[in-house]
Structure formats: C-alpha cells, structure tokens
C-alpha cells in the first residue's frame, strides 16, 4: 500500500503513482544481461506492486522492443494504467540516435507507437528531445494536431531548456516535463522546475537513482563490463566515483534506521521534493522494480530528510553531462 496519494498529470485528470516504471533498460541496448522473459516479468511485477504508470519511447529498442512488450503485458489491464511514450528520436543506419522533430516524423512515430502498443490513444506523448534543426514551436504544431485529433490525451516535453518549454507551450499545452534529476544532479531547481510549477506542468524525473549508483549496490572496487554504458559518465569515474561512494556511506546509517534499502530511501526522498510529481525507476528484472516500488510505501521523517539534505550539501554537485534517455 502506498503512503502517497496518486498525483495528477498536469490538469488532465489522469492520476498516477509517484513511482513509475521506466522502460528503457528492458530494451537491452545499454543494459547487459537483458532477456525478453525477464523484461516482461518486470512489467508485470511493477503492476503487481501497485505501480500504474509506465514510461517508454519510440527509440527504446532498435525495433521498438520496449513499446511492444509494454503493450503486450499491459493490454489486459489497459483501463488500470497510464502509458507514456515519446517520439522525435529514431535510430540511424549506424545505430546512432537521430533527433528529428519535423511534423511528418512526429506523426509517423506516433502512428507506429500506437500500433506497437496496441492502443487507440496514447495517454501522455512526449517530444523526446528538441531537434536542433527544427524550431521547437514547429514540432509543437504536430503535437497540437495529435492532441486535437484525439490520438494522444496529453503532451509532454523531455530534455529541454526553459525557453524551449515556453516556446512549445505557446503552441501546444504541455502537461508534463521529463528531465534528469537526483540527489546530486539538481540543475532543474534553478529555472525549469519553478517554470513548471507556475504553469501546472508535472515534472517526471529520470535517473533518480543516478543510473543505479545511488542504489548503493556497486562497491568501490567495481569494474564495469565493457558493454556497460555507464562507463562513459564522469559520475562513475575517478575522484567523482570515490566522492559518490563517500556520500553513499553517509546515507547508509539513515537507511539502516528506517529499515529500508538505500534505493528506497533515495526514491522516497525524491518524491518528497517540492514540484517533483513522479520518479521513473528503470528496471530490467522483477526484483529490482519490487524493491524500488517499496519506496512509496512509507515516508522519511522531517529529521531524516534534513540529515539527507546536509549530506547532499556536503557532497556538492557532481560533474554533469547532457543526457537523453
């Protein structure tokens, strides 16, 4: 049972759990040891754990694997769940991501996502990331058409600046914004988060566990598999890595005190932050999402929150790098 009430997406009336399943890892592109059976079981486990919000994208998988699995598993429960997906990024012949925000592409991506998911309407449809070659307000015209024709219930924007949020919103009303955010990457608090609060735009954050680092299960001497996409990020390298491990050592006594896992403590903190609507939990195995889902079944006390904030302040922000997921 959740200790948190469901939260509305913008002003749409759609109510979602504060923790959602992020369905990027199940595509198996940057995560290792991913199997289709485990991925399908993970989606089902999230549902069983009380999560009703599922987030995927057109480019999660080279052939739409994530959307297809989400659609297959959730189809019998369609009236109980809220499904978000994203358009505007596809894979080129070299298997590198290509941003394409042209209206014709957005319409094509949306139609294909509807088919893959096996649904009549997409509950929340994001522009995955602005296309540097297409003005964001031009892309927004396509989203406005999808909204007006009933192919999508609500529109979101991901990986965008405040100026891009404002330009898009002038053409097509936004209900959600999806940036990265976690204890040590809080840049959105400066500008984007206040804008969203002022405009009734829900904030659905990815990387709440900083790609697994804040779950505390990677020891200091961990050696990353060469196939592991995390190796390229500064947060997993050198002095940043050591400082992050020191920070985790500060959080562990608080987790022990609560009787919950470190991941649950981090997620609980995240969904208690002002202006944060939902935290997306990526998972590729059932036990991962079951552990994460328990992060919404209780609450950190004000005193524990204050101790965590003091540890965050002592750590300071990490080196950041723009990301799209």
Q: Which domains does the chain have, with CATH numbers?
A: 7-315 (3.20.20.100)
What does the radius of gyration of the chain's CA atoms come to, in whole angstroms? Answer: 19
Q: Which two tokens stand for residue 208?
A: 């709440």
What per-residue confidence (pLDDT) applies to 136?
Answer: 98
* Band (228; pLDDT cuts 50, 70, 90): confident
pLDDT > 90? residue 54: yes
The residues annotated with a catalytic role in the active site are 60
Contact between 250 and 311 (Cβ < 8 Å):
yes
- Ordered DSSP codes for 269-309: HHHTSTT--EEEEE-SSHHHHHHHHGGGSS---HHHHHHHH
What mean pLDDT comes out for the span 86-115? Answer: 97
pLDDT grade for 129, boundaries at 50, 70 and 90: very high
pLDDT of residue 319: 63
Q: What pLDDT, in 10s, does the model give residues 144-188?
A: 999 999 999 999 999 999 999 999 999 999 999 999 999 999 999
Whether the per-residue pLDDT at 323 is higher than 80: the answer is no
Between 28 and 53, residue with greater pLDDT: 53
**pLDDT-based confidence at residue 320 (cuts at 50, 70, 90):** low
In this prediction, residues 55-79 reach a mean pLDDT of: 97
pLDDT value at 232 more than 90: no
- CA pair distance 251, 308, nearest whole angstrom: 7
Tokens of 319: 């080196």
pTM listed for this prediction:
0.94
29 confidence band (pLDDT: 50, 70, 90): confident
Confidence of residue 321 (pLDDT cuts 50, 70, 90): low
Band of pLDDT at residue 260, cut at 50, 70 and 90: very high
What pLDDT was estimated at residue 324?
A: 63
Question: What gap in Å lies between CA 193 and CA 195, rounded to an integer?
Answer: 5
DSSP 87-150: ESEEE-TTS-EEE---HHHHHHHHHHHHHHHT-SSEEEEEE-S--TTS-HHHHHHHHHHHHHTT
Res 317: pLDDT: 81
| Sheet strands (E) in 135-294 | 152-158, 176-178, 202-205, 278-282
């Amino acid at each position: 049972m959740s200790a948190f009430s469901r939260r509305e997406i913008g002003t749409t009336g759609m109510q979602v759990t504060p923790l959602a399943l992020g369905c990027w890892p199940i595509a198996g592109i940057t995560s290792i040891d991913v199997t289709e059976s485990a991925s399908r079981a993970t989606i089902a486990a999230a549902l069983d754990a009380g999560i009703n919000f599922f987030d995927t994208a057109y480019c999660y998988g080279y052939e739409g694997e994530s959307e297809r699995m989400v659609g297959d598993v959730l189809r019998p429960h369609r009236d109980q769940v809220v499904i978000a997906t994203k358009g505007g990024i596809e894979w080129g012949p070299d298997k590198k991501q290509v941003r394409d925000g042209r209206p014709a592409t957005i319409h094509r991506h949306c139609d294909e996502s509807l088919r893959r998911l096996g649904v009549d309407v997409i509950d929340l449809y994001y522009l995955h990331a602005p296309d540097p070659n297409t003005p964001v307000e031009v892309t927004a015209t396509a989203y406005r058409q999808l909204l007006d024709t009933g192919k999508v219930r609500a529109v979101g924007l991901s990986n965008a600046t405040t100026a891009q949020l404002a330009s898009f919103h002038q053409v097509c009303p936004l209900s959600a914004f999806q940036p990265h955010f976690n204890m040590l990457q809080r840049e959105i608090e400066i500008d984007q988060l206040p804008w969203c609060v002022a405009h009734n735009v829900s904030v659905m954050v990815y990387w709440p566990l900083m790609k697994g680092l804040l779950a505390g299960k990677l020891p200091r001497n961990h050696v990353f598999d060469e196939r592991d996409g995390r190796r390229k990020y500064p947060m997993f390298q050198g002095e940043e890595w050591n400082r992050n491990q020191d920070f985790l050592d500060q959080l562990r006594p608080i987790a022990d005190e609560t009787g919950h896992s470190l991941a649950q403590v981090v997620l609980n903190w995240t969904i208690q932050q002002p202006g944060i609507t939902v935290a997306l939990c990526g998972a590729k195995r059932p036990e991962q999402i079951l552990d994460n889902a328990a992060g919404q079944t209780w609450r950190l006390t004000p005193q524990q929150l204050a101790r965590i904030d003091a540890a965050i302040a002592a750590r300071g922000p990490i080196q950041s790098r723009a990301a799209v997921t």
